[in-house]
Chain A
Amino acid sequence: MTIRVLEDWQGLSLEDLLRYCRDLVEDAEYPTVKRWRQAGGKVVGHFEVYFPEEIVAAAGLLPVKIHGAPIEARQGDAHFGAYLCSIVKTSLELALSGRLELEMFVSHPICDTARNLAAVWGRNVSYPCEILYLPQNANSLHARTYLRGEYDRLKRGVEAIAGREVTDEDLRGATAIFNENRRLLRQLYTIKRETPWLLAIDEAYVLMALGGRIPREEHNELLAAVIPMLERRAAQPQDRMRLVFEGGFCEQPPLDLLTTIAQSSYVVDDDLLIGLRWISEDVPLDGDPLESLAHAYLEHSNYSPVQHDLRKPKEQMLVQRIRESGAGAAIISAAKMCEPGLDEQVAYVKALDEEGIPYFVNEFEENMTSFDSLQIQLETFIENVLFA
């Protein structure tokens, strides 16, 4: 069954296409998911950061990336205590308010709050809710075998929802589509890194984030059309500082915050929705597909504050990201109440101090609406660096 969820976009100009994507990403009613369901499709929601979406897509289900929303958590608030990040509350709100209807929900042991999320979610809905235990000892020689088994467990759960078996061929087919998606996203980030005046951070974000709420085949079509349009875009480079934005691996900053940053700088790399770009190389299509996915997760992957891997010291990875993208400074951000993000800020700024790389530290919340003070602070920071 092929279900298409995007409206006709082929004739749109680049600016109109970007606006269309932004509207969809900002729409907390998830119209694309509703269209999928109206056509008889089933949906598996998965929480930040990384999720092997291939396994869900291989079963003909729609994997939807849940990363909160700029909405009021009217019901979500009552299910959580104080002193918690916003994303868990608004994510649950999406489900309890009926905005996002699912057949299954999966979260991961990325942090202490998210560990509780599947249990809380499960007590309040009738469909299966579970934790996918991605290995936290990435350096164990046994992690890959374990993860392959864990993916097999997930596959069995997905098969029960889909009502059919997921074959190796199904998995290979889905993996090929996601390989293509990751390749296109890498291309998008190359444009942002090498010609940032062609693609602002908020524009890149909406193009990428849309993939989390539509079938990847459609996302691939859209990216394949947009990338040449971006490359032909009539825009001249300006004398702006090149920055890396770090701190968007889980809860997402409001789009308007990204727009504010884009007004005074070029963000040439970031960790926004890093889970969609977690795997850094094509996953092989031969051999055991689950084994290949497990191998890629552990061996060919990005970094984030929620994974400890001796091979990827995070502060060194950040310095590498800054160097490789040719950035002159970094925005070291963290979502409010985010323990992993706030812990990592300390290591990041000490490493940047040692490297002599200027940085701007801040915190954000997905529901924040005022950016005037951020704009002034950021502009002051940039002026101080440029004219030091």
Chain B
Amino acid sequence: MTIDTSAAPGQPAPAAATHDSLVGRGNHEGNRLFREWYARLTSAPERGEKAAYVFVMGSLAELLQSFDFNLVLPEINGLQTAVRHVSESYIAQAEDYGYASDVCGYVKADVGLQLRGGEHPMGRIPRPDIAVFTGACNTYIKWAEIWERMYRIPIFTLDVPGTRAAGRVTGRGQVDYQNDLAYVAGQIDELISLCEQVSGKRLDVERLRQAMSYANAMTRDWLRVLELNKSRPAVYNAVTDGTVYLGVVNGFRGRPEGAHYFEQLVEELEYKAANGIGTNFDERHRLAFVGVPCYPIYRRFSEMFTERGGVFAGSSYTWFASGGWNSGFEYDLDHPLESLAEGVLVSVRAAMDAMFHTDRLLADMAEPYGIDGIVYHSIKSCRTVSAGLADSRRAVMEQANVATLLIDSDHMDPRVVSEAGLKNRVDAFFEGLETRKLLAAAG
């Protein structure tokens, strides 16, 4: 089964592409889509529509949209408050409510948001009617318990077992894989019953199949987007531009707008690759980023690297925050429910691998992406992503000839971010990179 995304509903027919209309289109369109997305969320209660709170690692968007739930992604809400420099007041409100300083900043920003009745810089976030989440991050579960207590809504843990040990990824035909798969499939059946109960609607398998077909197209294009940054110069910055793309991956997963967006994005990036057009900065060092960006000083954080000619050609964020779409799993549309279960298992597991077993993935990407250095950004809030970074870094340094930098800050709480301290470390890292290149050139 194939789909036509060239003129998705609500989208203007594409005009003949020119340099000016192509370059930068992904960012402009991504931002436009998100403004519309927040506007739709703001007006959802007026239309009598229901909201499902979900997370980026295993959002079940394809299924939930089949029941007409508006998806709310609290992680994206949170990072938006940080980028817009208002996260501290949300976090402070949650701390006044009782949450400790060591609790995840995303959680606290959301608690602050809930206590303000959904007030958010991008619009008004509707209250949840249901929350669906995987255990890819344990804090998802603790977070959802807060909504369960606040609103007395049903919450559903779709438990997706991860890789048990490094290098032991199971597959079809293996007894342990089948055990995991049957568990996930059984839970999806239970989730469908719950969604039918909350939404008052029966599952429409054709709608689900359609959403899955859009998701397939997006997955193919997402892989192509990741691959295109092997180009020299890199055609996008995997941290800043990549975050825009990730927003569309998550907000428009399984939707025609999402499929259309990625089709256009591939067109843009292929054009840039073919014409040697890089990012807006002189590329002198190709970098990989590991972790979550420093949103409280988002622009400055990026500039610390770009000013020194550092461009992020790859980022582990594009692996795990896409819900593991880097696994490349495509749904079998002839068997939608069975395939949905397998897709959730494979992709969420890949997302977890991209956090817990990053060393192998990074060592593998170093050569094809021409990586000179890897930047590990450990953040106070997120132990899922950060707890293993120091050790993973040691392992990568044994496997690949790349420079590395480990820095600490936070992705939400400006009180934990020392811009001067970060800049000192980053500057020293670049001096090291330049010295390595001089030494290499000297033989």
Contact = CB atoms under 8 A, between A and B. Distances in A.
Nearest to B142: A343
A350 interface: yes
Contacts of B156: 137
B103 A342 contact: yes
Given A153-B176, A347-B145, A120 B391 contact: yes
Contact of B383 (A84, A123, A145): A84
Interface in A143-171: 143, 145-146, 149-150, 153
Given A83-B102, A123-B166, A149 B145 contact: no
A340 B142 contact: yes
B1 interface: no
A368 to B, nearest CB: 16
Interface string B26-64: 000000000000000000000000000000000000000
Contact of A136 (B159, B186, B357): B159
B187 A109 contact: no
A139 B191 CA distance: 12
Q: Which has the most chain A C-beta neighbours within 10 Å: B98, B144, B382?
A: B98
Interface string B405-427: 01010000000000000000000
A154 B157 CA distance: 23
Say which size band chain A's interface belongs to.
35 or more
Contacts of A109: 135, 138, 162
A345 B390 CA distance: 29
A306 interface: yes
Contacts of B223: none
A150 B159 CA distance: 13
B100 A342 contact: yes
Given A81-B408, A350-B98, A119 B356 contact: yes
A51 to B, nearest CB: 14
B393 to A, nearest CB: 10
Interface string B123-161: 000000000000101110110111001000000111101
B176 A149 contact: yes
Contact of A337 (B102, B163, B352): B102
Nearest to B107: A343
Nearest to A347: B149
B138 A111 contact: yes
A118 interface: yes
Interface in A117-139: 117-120, 122-124, 128-133, 135-137, 139
B323 to A, nearest CB: 17
A343 B138 CA distance: 12
A345 B99 CA distance: 8
B186 A339 contact: no
B327 interface: no
Interface in B240-281: none
A75 to B, nearest CB: 11
Nearest to B183: A146
B386 interface: yes
A131 B357 CA distance: 13
A36 B136 CA distance: 37
B179 A149 contact: yes
B285 interface: no
Given A136-B159, A153-B179, A113 B383 contact: yes
B318 interface: no
A238 interface: no
A306 B180 CA distance: 21
A308 interface: yes
A306 B183 contact: no
Contacts of A140: 159, 183, 186-187, 190
A349 B99 CA distance: 11
Contact of A137 (B145, B157, B357): B157
A220 to B, nearest CB: 32
A119 B100 contact: no
Contact of A339 (B97, B138, B159): B138
A83 B380 contact: yes
Contact of A123 (B175, B176, B378, B395): B395
B159 A137 contact: yes
Given A80-B387, A81-B378, A308 B141 contact: yes
A115 interface: yes
A125 to B, nearest CB: 12
B161 A339 contact: no
A153 B174 CA distance: 11
A78 interface: yes
Nearest to B161: A133
Contact of B135 (A81, A136, A142, A339): A136
Contact of A119 (B187, B378, B388, B408): B388
B157 A145 contact: no
Interface string A316-350: 00000000000000000010111110111111011
A198 B241 CA distance: 66
Interface of A: 78-84, 88, 109-113, 115-120, 122-124, 128-133, 135-137, 139-143, 145-146, 149-150, 153, 305-306, 308, 334, 336-340, 342-347, 349-350, 363
10 contacts: A80-B390, A83-B386, A112-B137, A112-B387, A118-B165, A131-B164, A136-B159, A308-B144, A336-B102, A343-B103
Given A112-B382, A113-B383, 18 more contacts: A82-B378, A116-B388, A119-B357, A120-B388, A123-B391, A124-B391, A131-B164, A137-B159, A140-B183, A146-B180, A146-B186, A149-B176, A153-B176, A308-B157, A336-B102, A338-B102, A339-B142, A343-B146
The 5 closest A-B CB pairs, nearest first, are A142-B186, A149-B179, A146-B183, A116-B388, A112-B384
